[in-house]
Structure 1
Amino acid sequence: MRSLTLGLACLLTLPTVVSAREVRVGVYDNPPKVTADASGRPSGIMGDLLQEVARRENWTLVPVPCRWDACLASLEAGSLDLMPDVARTDSRVRLYDFHRVPALHSWSQLYRKPEQHIESMLDLQGKRVAVLDGSSQQEYLATLLAGFGLRTELVPHTTFDEAFARVAAGEADAVAVNHHFGDLAARRYKLVETSLMFQPSRLFFVAAKGRNADVLAALDRHLEPWQAQPDSPYYQVLKRWAVPRESPPIPAAFWWGLGGVVTALLLALAFVALLKREVARRTAELRASEDKLSTILNSVDAFIFIKDTELRYLYANRQVCELFGKPLSEIVGQGDSAFFDQTTARHLRVTDQRVFDRGERLVQEEVNRLPDGSQRTYLSVKLPLRRADNSIYALCGISTDITEQRQFLQEIHQLAYHDPLTHLANRRQMIERLQQLLADPAAGLHQHALLLLNLDNFKGLNDTHGHNVGDLLLQQVAQRLSGCARADDLVARLGGDEFGLLMTSLNAQPGLAMRQIETAATQLVRAITDMPFQLETLTHPASVSVGIALLNQQDHSVEAVLKQADIALAQAKAAGRGTVRFFRSDMEAVIAARAALEADLREGLAQRQFLLHYQPQIDEHGAVFGVEALVRWQHPQRGMVPPGSFIGLAEVSGLIEPLGLWILRSACEQIAAWRDDPQRAHLLVAVNISARQLHHPEFVQLVATVLAETGADPQRLELELTESHLVEDVDGATAKMHSLKSRGVRLSLDDFGTGYSSLNYLKRLPLDQLKIDQSFVRDLLLDANDLSIVKAIVDMGRNLKLNVLAEGVETQAQFDMLRQAGCKRYQGYLFCHPVPVDQLPTTYTLHPPHSELTA
């Protein structure tokens, strides 16, 4: 009974497998808002947004390709769960369910062939306009054109591309489409945009009525916080697909309202005046016309009003009534002070009066604040209404709420010109500012300077403590740099851990300008180095190197200025932490020579110009028990290049990884070749490993692959590491060493005693050998401290059961002293220089102390 109870309890505690939610999505071709990628998945602005939400919600998206009208039919039939890119209208709200937060803002626009003249609504008389069948553009234009009595034929098509093709072929005069698709397609079909913009809309994902409410709720749950964060996935998608305009269009105010509705108002009012003289005969016609005009004006998504010469409202459409929260009867006869705060009312009074006093038409942005404190931005068009004698009797205004469009454009501008992490200017803004200065003929020579700043050892902080801590450091550095800048200076993050300071309006005297720059550079260095940074629980001291280039618009391009500052920065970093360097012309020669050597190094790797020499390692009996593989470069012009001339360059250029892999593979091939040689099959082959190799995430697998491919015995391979390599990531390095050790590879700690020797981590490492650094051996006879250090290392190795090898043994006296200290393994010029493999000796005769050593 007890076992049955336990078994039941175990069953109840088994985890439940949660399957991914499958969401069927309609995909049609309307780039850049909606399209399908090469794999058929939803793409475009709304497709990428849906992919981001699906990944976080664990949905499986099932794309269903279809045309626009077929997609909507499938949604109603229940074979689709979700449809993107749907504008919210009253008729669609009755058919579909919308989520709350708009996914995208858009407006519609007409495009024409360059030779076609269409600049106002009246120009559409007798024209053919291509539209997407069943689209909101078709519905809107049909209502509006019918209301004004224009004879314009709407030609429906199944795709936007088909509609554009018909216009390009001359089979239609214009095409109406959302501006996202239109701006892309117009260039492809060689059409141009007209000034007729209309129907600003908010775009959503929709589901069939009463279905998939959880999917819509999830969309709101992600879109709302994303739209409040400039570095969120939402704005990353916008940046990927949207291209900000240099000067934002006037989305406005429906130019339909400007060109058409206003004209209709004038015609209608004149028509009403005419009807008043024939009231008895045409009362019914007048009432019908007024109802039609009211329907049209109330259906336009704009705020339309008429004011008399006293600036009191004579008319307001439905949108104005909803804005003020009052019926028309309570608005007529009132001025703006009844509906706006005093500042807004005063500003409106000034602009309205200009229409009456000067008879001019005004187009301007207005920021209006209601008494409850809410504030909106409008694009307003105001024009005078005239009598037959040309006197002005009223003002007609059309205002469109562009608050969201203005915010949208500001956010795009922020993304384009500012760094999202530090909120400083970005590289693009810095380059544009440099271009302006260099192109300005009035800018004085040497009155501007570019300072490039690079954090020292930033990669080590990122690798050791993670990118979150690195980001905190970058943000705090940005704050300190901004605090040092003058009002006219530009501080920018140029990428990674590199910042720039553009100093302008320096003293016209070169000597004084140089002192200004030096003072500023010193302040920047001290701002970073004088006080450690507090990064969560870590207190981190930092330093920065600075390279400086002076601007001279006579012979500089932006590329030249950046290159010179980069060269000066490289020299500063080479000189040590916290260093400042001005660009000098001789620096380019040094950089050029280094670049030439780096190019030769790459060519040498490609052409297999490298070879290995081997230096024997002997034991206390004179037997050669191992060799160290040392790389040499046989350059076709330079001859035999010593490793000291190129290893450092290989490290900083990243070429040490392919070079190190070649050395490892060549050494393993030699081990395999000696397998059948009775005199050398027992030899260990030591290979030096660079820090880049050790910290490569696939290092252990690379070593295993080389051993397997060459057939080398892993017990004959000895990898030499240095202490400085280990301290960057002790835990990660230790794990890799244990993994290598488990495969039979031997491990040696090179240059022991010169780095961060610590028993605390030494006892954790699976080592086979310690190598006494040659600096201790060199002064062994001159400095008693060196002898004490050598003895301590030998004793430490004995206690830890590690072999100890002294390298750099060059004299018989050094050798005698090492033997007396208890060291039993040796390497150095006293025994043999590094030689080609065919010149390796197999044994040495060891002489008593103070005698000559012969091979």
Structure 2
Amino acid sequence: MIRTIVLLLLLVSAAKALGREVVVGVYQNPPKLVAAADGAASGILGDLLTEIAGRENWQLKTVQCDWAYCLQLLQAGEIDLLPDVAFSEERALLLDFHRTPALFSWSQLYLAPGVPLDSLADLTGKKVLVLRDSIQQRYLQQQLNSAGIEAQLIETRSMAEAFAMVAAGQADAVAANHYFGRAHMDEYQLMQGDIVFQPVQLFYASRKGRNQDLLAVIETDLAQWQANASSPYYHILQRWGANTPPLQMPERVWWLLSMLSALLLLALLGAWWLKKQVAEKTRHLQASEERLSTILNSVDAHIYIKDTKGRYQYLNRKVAELFGCTAEQALGRRDDAFFDAATSANLQQNDQRVLQQGQRIVEEERNCSLDGQQCHTYLSVKMPLRDAKGKIYALCGISTDITEHKQQQQEIHQLAFYDALTGLPNRRLLLERLQHAVALNQRQPQQGALLFIDLDHFKDLNDSLGHAMGDKLLQLAAQRLQQHLRKIDTLARLGGDEFVVLLTDMHPDAELAIQKAGLIADKIVQLMAEAFMLQERPYSLSASVGVVMFSDGCNADELLQRADLAMYDAKERGRNGVRFFNQQMQAEVSARTELATGLRQAMAQQQFVLHFQPQIQGDTTVGAEVLLRWQHPDKGLVAPGLFIPVAESSGQILQIGRWVLQQACMQLAEWARHSDTASWYLAVNVSARQLHDVHFVDEVKKALRDNGAIAENLVLELTESQLLQDIDTVIHKMQQLTALGVRFSLDDFGTGYSSLSYLKRLPLSQLKIDRSFVRDILTDANDKAIIKTILALGQSLELAVIAEGVETEPQYQKLLQLGCQQFQGYLFGKPVALAEFAKAQLGSFTQR
């Protein structure tokens, strides 16, 4: 027993000295990095560097600075090393790192008491503190910008300063690494938020191309220490609050022990007059044993010795606490007295590899108590103990509890590969599995399919019941879909209300596989049509499903894109249905892409022209509507119905719309110079993208100002569908422009879904009767009644009413009879170029 314990005590190794001064930047970020009272580097990373420096005979010279200044000094080469640097591709361009991470970390938001925060959207209007020039600052700013969230990020020099400011009520939240947050949240009485983000690896860094020898030494020591549970690495982690393994002894200690044992044996065989000396040596050995026992009972690791029968011969305090008894009570007993049957069998199997085969093993062991209620994961190092003849007589084991580390690994894995709301695989994991399935299909052809699912009108649910109910429905939908799919199928959530199902191992016959995929897709549509219970009330919706077979694509990205195209085709065909991908869809997409490319050239080469269609009152021209045309060099005049939707979806409509506004205001300014046309106005159609653009009001003001146009002669035409989204913001923009004199006309009135309550709030000057009502006014009593209602509504709200699409004299006379005063249509003139318009309209319309 004494021999074995003494062997465990003598675990020490010496390192070759390098003898050089190393300048180290230190900033306050406990427990990872702190400056001690004497200015020396401390904390987990500081103590690790001090341990390496002692072994290498480096002379550490510390420079205390805040994080941002430390980083500047490092990049300028004024310090050699900076601990606690998170790796990023951007930093790798300026700095050098070693390969083995010193620590793993992630970030969280810590909140002032009473601050609600369930998602990033809740940060709107809040003040969030971030460490200046940190990865957390850049990451949060990118997320806020991409999500359109208006939150104020405030830079601080240190985490302690940031926590103090939140505690003092100067901010709502602070972004911090979990090491600092857990250590100090109670001190500042802050709450731990639910938002966890940005797992990172932490390193020692140096300036690019400098100090490669320092990083090489750090890399070597870290790699060796992290593979050895008894290394200084784990001792330092334990010192700062983490579980660490115990020490292991160098092999040369065995020789020393053998020599001591031989001397002790010779002393015992000596003459009686040596008894006093033997007794003295025995007392020294007992004192050493007591000191070693004190050390082994102080380390935060489980150390034990078992004989060849698996009976405990020695155990330290940690093992006794685990067993719930004293060390003396556990001696001579086996694992089945303390662990359940499965754990005991696994431990016995690992022990036999050591005792019978003489192997030194390092294994992860999951041990559960006798009642199975408590389970922990241990990293166990087990080695054989041999006598002088080389015979194995026992094993020594060192087990470190890594349960928390495993949980952290699982949390990081969960964040990286699974959707936080539904627990389903996310886009990243789906693409990995899809790429694997495609690669397998290329080597050994098998039938597979990809189903792209989108919930119809999901936004209406969020708008009516709130995002919390929307999240609840997504969870219920995920559960329902998961219950009706095979275990080998993958159900993933891409984000929002989009789900994807990956079907593999389908019928080898292509036709039968397509039928099977169609049946599954139809089943999904039926499942989503069944009502969900929200707030104890049934809520119904539908789903559109796009299907693509593996044979329709050659790689994962192409399959996902084509399934998405098929889903949108299902939506365009009325939703609540299934569509399979076909080549026609791809051709349409290619055509739209070609059209989008042509639009960019059209804008650059000034291929757009404006046509004007007159608007009259009585027999006099009072204005015109501006209509955009594309004079394509090869295809001739392209109708707006072909290119306007593409311009809308690609965002090019914003640039085109600005050009139309400038041209219209230029023409208004020109007309204002002549008495015959000074009172003419121009009606300009405004797209939905323009209206909801944050710069729309400024662009209208700029067009009027640049050209000197009269604001009262500019009429902006909106459609009812444009008012369905963010109505309050739209009204505010309209009021700003109305204050300048700009007028608004509601186009296609009667065909949309606007509320009359909103109509009262809109600063309109004109309603425009849609041509569909004018076309059948002579034959359809309903159309006639609708027009009468619109005219009455306009009169009641003091709005002018203009009828468009007037093509015949009887239509015109009927509209006059009903009380309509303003008209537009082919009867009075087709849309023509400016020169032809001016020539035709100067005069009256008495000769039609």
Distance verdict in 2 for CA 1:676–1:762, change over 3 Å: same
**Preserved contact between residue 306 and residue 397 of structure 1 (Cα < 8 Å):** yes
- The match for 2:734 among 723, 730, 737 is 737
| Residue number in structure 1 paired with 2:218 | none
Give the AA of the match of 1:585: Q
SS of the residue 1:670 aligns to: helix
SS of the residue 1:486 aligns to: coil
Give the AA of the match of 1:236: F
Distance verdict in 2 for CA 1:317–1:270, change over 3 Å: farther
SS of the residue 2:598 aligns to: helix
| Residue number in structure 2 paired with 1:106 | none
What runs of 5+ residues in structure 2 fail to find an aligned partner? 1-22, 64-80, 109-157, 169-180, 204-222, 232-244, 269-276
**Preserved contact between residue 199 and residue 301 of structure 1 (Cα < 8 Å):** no
Which whole-Å CA distance do the structure 1 matches of 2:422 and 2:465 have between them? 19
Give the AA of the match of 1:135: D
Which whole-Å CA distance do the structure 2 matches of 1:405 and 1:794 have between them? 73
| Residue number in structure 2 paired with 1:560 | 558
Distance verdict in 2 for CA 1:763–1:192, change over 3 Å: closer
Residue 574 (structure 1) aligned with residue 575 (structure 2): no
Residue 648 (structure 1) aligned with residue 645 (structure 2): yes
Which whole-Å CA distance do the structure 2 matches of 1:526 and 1:249 have between them? 58
Which whole-Å CA distance do the structure 2 matches of 1:696 and 1:214 have between them? 39
| Residue number in structure 2 paired with 1:276 | 264
Aligned pairs for 1:41-80 (under 5 A) are 71-73=35-37
SS of the residue 2:606 aligns to: coil
Using the TM superposition, give the Cα deviation of residue 201 of structure 1 relative to its aligned residue in structure 2, in angstroms.
12
**Cα deviation 1:288-337 (Å, max 9, x = unaligned):** 65466556645654322111233222222344345446554444444334
- The match for 1:618 among 595, 616, 629 is 616
Residue 489 (structure 1) aligned with residue 489 (structure 2): yes
SS of the residue 2:508 aligns to: coil
Using the TM superposition, give the Cα deviation of residue 826 of structure 1 relative to its aligned residue in structure 2, in angstroms.
0.5
SS of the residue 2:419 aligns to: coil
SS of the residue 2:693 aligns to: coil
Give the AA of the match of 1:542: L
| Residue number in structure 2 paired with 1:20 | none
Using the TM superposition, give the Cα deviation of residue 448 of structure 1 relative to its aligned residue in structure 2, in angstroms.
0.9
| Residue number in structure 2 paired with 1:157 | 60
| Residue number in structure 2 paired with 1:514 | 514
Residue 796 (structure 1) aligned with residue 708 (structure 2): no
Distance verdict in 2 for CA 1:593–1:517, change over 3 Å: same
TM value normalised by structure 2: 0.72
Give the AA of the match of 1:360: Q
| Residue number in structure 2 paired with 1:309 | 308
Structure 1 window deviating more from structure 2 (498-507 vs 687-696): it is 687-696
Using the TM superposition, give the Cα deviation of residue 624 of structure 1 relative to its aligned residue in structure 2, in angstroms.
1.0
**Preserved contact between residue 438 and residue 552 of structure 1 (Cα < 8 Å):** no
Residue 135 (structure 1) aligned with residue 47 (structure 2): yes
| Residue number in structure 1 paired with 2:197 | 236
> RMSD of the TM alignment (CA)?
4.5
**Preserved contact between residue 721 and residue 747 of structure 1 (Cα < 8 Å):** yes
**Identity, % of aligned pairs?**
42
**Cα deviation 1:674-728 (Å, max 9, x = unaligned):** 3322122211211112222233344334433433344322211111111222233
Distance verdict in 2 for CA 1:735–1:594, change over 3 Å: same
Using the TM superposition, give the Cα deviation of residue 491 of structure 1 relative to its aligned residue in structure 2, in angstroms.
0.7
Distance verdict in 2 for CA 1:427–1:512, change over 3 Å: same
Which whole-Å CA distance do the structure 2 matches of 1:212 and 1:419 have between them? 33
Structure 1 window deviating more from structure 2 (701-710 vs 815-824): it is 701-710
SS of the residue 2:197 aligns to: helix
| Residue number in structure 2 paired with 1:546 | 545
| Residue number in structure 2 paired with 1:411 | 411
**Cα deviation 1:508-546 (Å, max 9, x = unaligned):** 122221111001111122222342673x69976433322
Which whole-Å CA distance do the structure 1 matches of 2:461 and 2:738 have between them? 28
**Cα deviation 1:595-627 (Å, max 9, x = unaligned):** 10111112323333222221111002x111111
Using the TM superposition, give the Cα deviation of residue 439 of structure 1 relative to its aligned residue in structure 2, in angstroms.
2.1
Which whole-Å CA distance do the structure 2 matches of 1:185 and 1:765 have between them? 55
How many aligned residue pairs are there?
699
SS of the residue 2:624 aligns to: strand
Which whole-Å CA distance do the structure 2 matches of 1:186 and 1:671 have between them? 55
**Preserved contact between residue 306 and residue 316 of structure 1 (Cα < 8 Å):** yes
Residue 425 (structure 1) aligned with residue 425 (structure 2): yes
Using the TM superposition, give the Cα deviation of residue 806 of structure 1 relative to its aligned residue in structure 2, in angstroms.
0.7
What runs of 5+ residues in structure 1 fail to find an aligned partner? 1-27, 36-41, 51-67, 77-82, 88-131, 143-151, 161-174, 243-247, 848-852
SS of the residue 2:677 aligns to: coil
Aligned pairs for 1:192-231 (under 5 A) are 219-221=184-186
Aligned pairs for 1:321-720 (under 5 A) are 321-324=320-323, 328-341=327-340, 343-370=342-369, 373-440=373-440, 445=445, 447-458=447-458, 468=468, 470-531=470-531, 534=534, 541-552=540-551, 556-620=554-618, 622-720=619-717
Structure 1 window deviating more from structure 2 (557-566 vs 684-693): it is 557-566
Give the AA of the match of 2:829: C
Distance verdict in 2 for CA 1:432–1:222, change over 3 Å: farther
Which whole-Å CA distance do the structure 2 matches of 1:202 and 1:675 have between them? 65
Using the TM superposition, give the Cα deviation of residue 562 of structure 1 relative to its aligned residue in structure 2, in angstroms.
2.3
Which whole-Å CA distance do the structure 2 matches of 1:29 and 1:672 have between them? 69
Which whole-Å CA distance do the structure 1 matches of 2:465 and 2:668 have between them? 39
**Preserved contact between residue 514 and residue 549 of structure 2 (Cα < 8 Å):** no
Which whole-Å CA distance do the structure 1 matches of 2:436 and 2:746 have between them? 56
SS of the residue 1:397 aligns to: strand
**Preserved contact between residue 384 and residue 395 of structure 2 (Cα < 8 Å):** yes
- The match for 2:812 among 795, 815, 821 is 815
SS of the residue 2:718 aligns to: strand
Distance verdict in 2 for CA 1:533–1:655, change over 3 Å: farther
**Preserved contact between residue 721 and residue 754 of structure 2 (Cα < 8 Å):** no
**Preserved contact between residue 167 and residue 190 of structure 2 (Cα < 8 Å):** no
Distance verdict in 2 for CA 1:781–1:838, change over 3 Å: same
Structure 1 window deviating more from structure 2 (780-789 vs 595-604): it is 780-789
SS of the residue 1:633 aligns to: strand
Give the AA of the match of 2:381: V
Which whole-Å CA distance do the structure 2 matches of 1:241 and 1:329 have between them? 44
Which whole-Å CA distance do the structure 2 matches of 1:842 and 1:322 have between them? 101
Distance verdict in 2 for CA 1:312–1:464, change over 3 Å: same
**Preserved contact between residue 617 and residue 827 of structure 1 (Cα < 8 Å):** yes
